[in-house]
Structure formats: C-alpha cells, structure tokens
Chains A and B, each alone.
Chain A
C-alpha cells in the first residue's frame, strides 16, 4: 500500500502517522508539504493531527484552503482513499469532503484520555479488521471534537451505516457519560457516501505497540491494507 501524509504548518501528529504507516505497511509514506501542488501516486492520503495554522480562525479552516488539499479533493473524487485523524478530520469537514463540523468540546477543555469506541460498521476500508460491534480503546486528545451535523445529515449517516466509530462505555453502550465531548449521537468517526474517506477524532496511530499501552489501533491500519492490496 502506497501512502502519503500531508504536513501543514503546526501539524504535530505527522511523525506519529508516518511511523505507524511505515511500520504497518512496510513502506515509507510520501511526505507532502501543504504548498505542494503535486501528490505522488498513492493508495491512501492521510491528514494528520495537530494544530494546523495554530487552529486560528477555526480548526482546520486554513489548512482546508491549501494547495495540497485541492489535490486531495481530486484524489478523493477519483475514488482514492483518504483518512483524517483529529485535526485531519476537522480539515475534511472544512473542505466539505465529510459532512458536519467539529465544535469546541462541551466541557470547553482540551481532553486527552483513552476512550472506548464501538466499531459501528466493520464493512468499510477502514474497519474491516475489527469485529462488528467490537469495543476498542483508542486515545483522544483534542479541544474541538464535538461533532455537529443537522438532523437530516445525522439521519443519513445513521441510515447508511456511515458512522464508523461511536464513543461508548466499557459495555458498548453509547451513554451520555461515555460521550467525552458532546458529539451528537456519540459520533467519533464517520465516512463519506462513497465510503473512501474517513474522519475520526481519536488517534489509532498512538496505540500500535504494547509499550504504548495497547495495540487496538493496529486494526485500523490493517483494515486499509486488506482493502487496498
């Protein structure tokens, strides 16, 4: 699987994503600077976490207008796979590639902790290595991860099986207590209509080795290898 990682000014999970992709796919990803107007041929483009452009104005807003993103949009329109983690998810909603918006956490605080996620649909390029309904633990670390979409959009996401991950408790229940940031319907990650783009707030790339406290993030990358190779 050939991959590329887009780096924006003040991306800060770019290295973590590059390390994870290289370790799991066996190939070093291309590293693309936001001003690059060409992206080498890749099966997957990843938008990493961080604080692109300081998250000034709105999280992901300025990154979403960078030259490289135009190429990402073209890649996605050709059916190419795209993932956006954390700030990358915010960028994807700002470009309109994914519906909705990520707002300030309900507590108004930055929150860094491990959360339980339920795999809501394992029939996607990003989740097929997990069991349907499996509960995994993945770290989250964000200030603006409160997913908002209007009722109509939410219904469409729910009805089409486009919710990839939901915040749940240990028993797999999407309770209010298990919702760390106020996201509507406890949404942690979604996919687009064509099912080639995924955005999620938690960080699977941070949990791929026992030393990091677990390997629940591995399945995310293995899913893409399964789907793409």
Chain B
C-alpha cells in the first residue's frame, strides 16, 4: 500500500518560510493570496495490505519520528 503524509505547522506557529513564499508571490504580482503555510510531503511504500493496520502504523511513525507534534500537524492518506 501507499501512504501519503502531509505535515504542516500548527496554526499559531509562525511560519517564516510560508511568509517568504507569500511575499515572493506578491512580488510576482499574484494578488489575493491571503496566507501561505508550507510543509512536508512524505510518500511511504508499505508492505502492509490491511488498510486499518497501515493507518495505525503510519500514525505511530508520525508521532515517533515523521512529525514534531510540538509544532506540527499531520494528515495521512492511505491508498
């Protein structure tokens, strides 16, 4: 199975990179971008075939390594 993990900064945590991207977009005349939040995208190829088990396992990975739950949120997609 394939797992896709999106990691973003929690709301309220300053995102200087997101701010820089927003600034650059404005400089390129892309108006109307109110906010930019950037993050990481991680793709995992899993041997697991059971969807629930895969989700639980990736959830555990996110908590233990892939994200820093002090500042980051994660969203997992399994397919």
Q: Do chains A and B touch in the complex (CB under 8 A)?
A: yes
**A residues with CB within 8 A of B:** 57-58, 61-62, 65, 93-94, 99-101, 103-108, 146, 148-150, 182
New A-B pairs, 6, CB < 8 Å, besides A93-B70, A101-B70, A108-B20 = A65-B64, A104-B17, A146-B16, A148-B13, A148-B70, A182-B14
Interface string of B1-27 (1 = CB under 8 A from A): 000000000001110110010000000
Of B14, B16, B20, B68, which one neighbours A58 at CB under 8 angstroms?
B68
Give chain A residues whose Cβ lies under 8 Å from the Cβ of B17. 104, 108
Top 6 closest pairs, chain A to chain B, by CB: A101-B70, A101-B71, A106-B16, A108-B16, A104-B16, A101-B68
Residues of B within 8 A of A105 (CB): 16
CB distance from A155 to the nearest CB of B (A): 15
Q: Write the B47-59 contact mask toward A (1 if CB under 8 angstroms, else 0).
A: 0000000000000
Task: State how many residues of chain B have any CB contact under 8 Å with chain A.
Answer: 12
**CB neighbours of A146 from chain B (8 A):** 14, 16
Q: Are A148 and B65 closer than 8 Å at their CB atoms? A: no
Q: List residues of chain B with CB under 8 Å of any chain A CB.
A: 12-14, 16-17, 20, 64-66, 68, 70-71
Q: Can you report 26 residue pairs joining A to B where beta carbons are below 8 Å apart?
A: A57-B65, A57-B66, A58-B68, A61-B65, A62-B65, A65-B64, A65-B65, A99-B70, A100-B70, A101-B68, A101-B70, A103-B13, A103-B14, A103-B16, A104-B16, A104-B17, A105-B16, A106-B14, A106-B16, A108-B16, A108-B17, A108-B20, A146-B16, A148-B13, A149-B70, A182-B16
Distance of A148 Cα from B13 Cα, bound (Å): 8
User: Once bound together, how far apart are the Cα atoms of A182 and B20, in whole Å?
Assistant: 14
Distance A170 CA – B68 CA, assembled complex (angstroms):
35
Chain B residues with CB under 8 A of A65: 64-65
In the complex, A9→B68 CA distance in Å? 21
Q: Given the complex, which residues of B lie within 8 Å of A94, measured CB to CB?
A: 68
For A93, the closest partner residue in chain B by CB is B70
Residues of A within 8 A of B13 (CB): 103, 148
Residue of A nearest to B10 (CB): A150
Specify which chain A residues have a CB less than 8 angstroms from the CB of B71 in the assembled complex: 101, 103, 148
Q: Cα distance A94–B12 when bound, in Å?
A: 19
Residues of B within 8 A of A149 (CB): 70
Chain A: which residue is nearest B12 at the CB level? A150
What residues of chain A lie closer than 8 Å to B14, measured between beta carbons?
103, 106, 146, 148, 182
Alpha-carbon distance A62/B65, docked complex (angstroms): 7
